[in-house]
Amino acid sequence: MDPQETARAEDDGDEAADPEVVEVAAAPVARPRVTSTDVATPELFAEFQRRRDPAVREQLILAHMNLVRYLARKFANRGEPLEDLTQVGMIGLINAIDRFDPGRGIRFATYATPTIVGEIRRHFRDKGWAVKVPRRLQELSLAANRAVDELSQKLDRAPTVGEIATRLGIPEEEAVEALELSDLYELPSLDRDLGSDEEDSGGALADYIGREDPGIERFERRNRLSQALKSLPDRERQIIEMRFFRNLSQTEVAKRMNISQMHVSRLQHRALARLREYIRE
């Protein structure tokens, strides 16, 4: 393939109005221009169909790698590395080469595009999301990302939420939700460096996440106990305060309250039972 023609095909692919548009899933995928590869490979396909020679198959794969790269870029910035998407697309290309019949009179790019795109979409579906998201919302998120790509090319700027919502025919609230869902596809690592480069490290993400403060739990327990004490009758509350806050013995408490030590013991036992029951509620 001529490198200059290939470059032009990649740069102008979105602007070319190809007569053979292939519907893939719910949305069409833009087609690349016809290049010298489409003209040069019919003989190779005919030879491969006759002989099934692995060497010819390899030539066909190399001749159409740019088609895979072109289609893989349509799914970029959706949580998956472009290199991985290209590798997945190569599986679709190989399957298309093995099944293509040059006698049908259609271009190979037209035939292969649904197979390659379908393999990439299957990769997204099978890989799953980091957080479980309903299928309807997954499809809405993918549609929103496609709309962003298409509108960005058409408007030569980033589209607004209103423009995305209009393109998809949904309320703006749903458009915002669909765009935010992209962040759930792949969760960031807590060890990820937040700096822009190695010389300007912003620290790891984990450094900015709060941790549980043990003092909060102690405060909650003390507050709960304070409320429980207020629920006790006056005499029982006084006994608990003298026994456990002033560290007085039962004998000293009995003398101050002018009751027997046995009575103090019974009241203390009853008060502690009430406190336990209150705190459990």
pLDDT in tens, 7-61: 333 444 333 333 333 333 334 444 444 444 444 477 888 888 888 888 888 999 9
Q: What percent of the chain has pLDDT over 90?
A: 27
Q: Which position has the higher pLDDT, 249 or 122?
A: 249
Over residues 2-9, mean pLDDT = 39
Per-residue confidence (pLDDT) for residue 218, from 0 to 100: 84
Rank 121-125, 190-194, 212-216, 234-238 by mean pLDDT and report only the highest. Answer: 234-238
Which of 131, 211, 142 has its CA nearest to residue 178?
142
DSSP state of 193: B
Q: Over 224-255, what HEC string results?
A: HHHHHHHCCCHHHHHHHHHHHHCCCCHHHHHH
Return the minimum-mean-pLDDT range out of 11-15, 144-148, 192-196, 197-201. Answer: 11-15
Is the per-residue pLDDT at 192 higher than 90? Answer: no
The DSSP-derived string for 14-81 is TT---S---EETTEE-PPPPP-HHHHHSHHHHHHHHHH--HHHHHHHHHHTHHHHHHHHHTT-SSSS-
Per-residue pLDDT tens digits for 91-144: 999 999 998 888 888 888 888 998 898 888 888 766 656 566 677 777 888 888
- Per-residue CA distances from 222 to 139, 147, 225, 241, 274 (Å): 50, 55, 5, 14, 16
**Nearest-10 crossing angle of helices 261-280, 250-257:** 100
Domain 132-186's class? mainly alpha
Q: How far apart are CA 163 and CA 175, in angstroms?
A: 10
Q: What does the block give as tokens for 8?
A: 């032009």
Q: How many residues are present in the chain?
A: 281
Burial of residue 48 (number of CB atoms within 10 Å: 0-12, 13-18, 19+): buried
Is the CATH number of domain 3-127 3.20.20.450? no
User: If you search the block for the tokens 């792949």, which residue do you land on?
Assistant: 186
- CATH 1.20.120.1810 in the chain: give the residue spans: 3-127
| pLDDT for res 199 | 52
Between residues 170 and 138, the one the model is more confident about: 170
CATH of 230-280, one of 1.10.10.10, 3.10.20.600, 3.90.1150.10, 1.20.120.1200: 1.10.10.10
- Give the tokens for residue 279: 């705190």
Mean pLDDT across 50-79: 88
Q: Where in the chain is the domain with CATH 1.10.10.10?
A: 132-186, 230-280
By the 8 A CB rule, do 176 and 160 touch? no
